[in-house]
Amino acid sequence: MGKKKNISKKDIISFYMEYVLENHKKPESVYAFAKAYNFEETLFYKHYGTLNAIEPEIFTEFFNSTIQVLNASKDYLEYDARHKLLSFYYTFFENLTANRSYVLMALSEHKNSLKSMKLLSPLKKAFTIYIQQLKIELIQTNQEQIDKIQEAGLKESAWIQMLLTLKFWMDDSSPSFEKTDVFIEKSVNTTFDLLDVTPLKSLIDFGKFIFKEKIKMP
């Protein structure tokens, strides 16, 4: 059989995941990897410089496919930030579950130190951009530096929440990972309840009213 004449990034990712699962280790070289899947080594370098560049992109592919599915839903596009994030989590973890054996193999050695994993850095970048695009409402202080700190804190706390959910899912042994679904629902709803600025806005408005009325009093 002749060697494959053309391969895509998705082909390489699929081959790589299959190789790792079947051999319980990463390919030792691009040459060995290309030989195992019957394509010229030069085709690999059209897409990646090294084998180490593949793994981080696998997790961003999970993210990208999640966004693609969500954006195809008219209902999702009409959701508020809370329900968009819930939908994101459910869909993202469905993707992970469909590839659970690979994900566990890739992350299991570091599941107690996910925050420091360079492997997840591209995913963090994509996810925090997504969080920013949700335009989650925060109290605006009209102080640029303070508002920027708030926004940065939101993105960092959202990423930590993602890592906690990932760790919970990795340890979850419930049927259909039902406990992870509950964890997602409760953690996201709790976060938005804590961020709910409506009561605080009402309190501020009430304070302004009292202050103005007090000034008017003789």
pLDDT tens track for 71-115 = 999 999 999 999 999 999 999 999 999 999 999 999 987 777 787
Residues 166-192 have a mean pLDDT of: 92
CB-neighbour burial class of residue 13 (10 A; exposed 0-12, middle 13-18, buried 19+): middle
Q: How far apart are CA 7 and CA 15, in angstroms?
A: 10
Pairwise CA distance, residues 142 & 1, whole Å: 67
- How far, in Å, are 26, 97, 148, 153, 157 from residue 90 at the CA level? 29, 10, 29, 23, 19
Q: What pLDDT shows up at residue 57? A: 94
Beta bridge partners of 36: none
| 11-63 pLDDT tens trace | 999 999 999 999 999 999 999 999 999 999 999 999 999 999 999 999 999 99
Pairwise pLDDT comparison (65 vs 156), residue with the higher score = 65
Question: How do the domains of the chain map onto residue ranges?
Answer: 9-49, 56-192
Q: Which residue has the higher pLDDT, 192 or 27?
A: 27
Which tokens go with 149?
Answer: 């700190």
Residue 203 has pLDDT above 70, yes or no: no
Report pLDDT for 136.
79
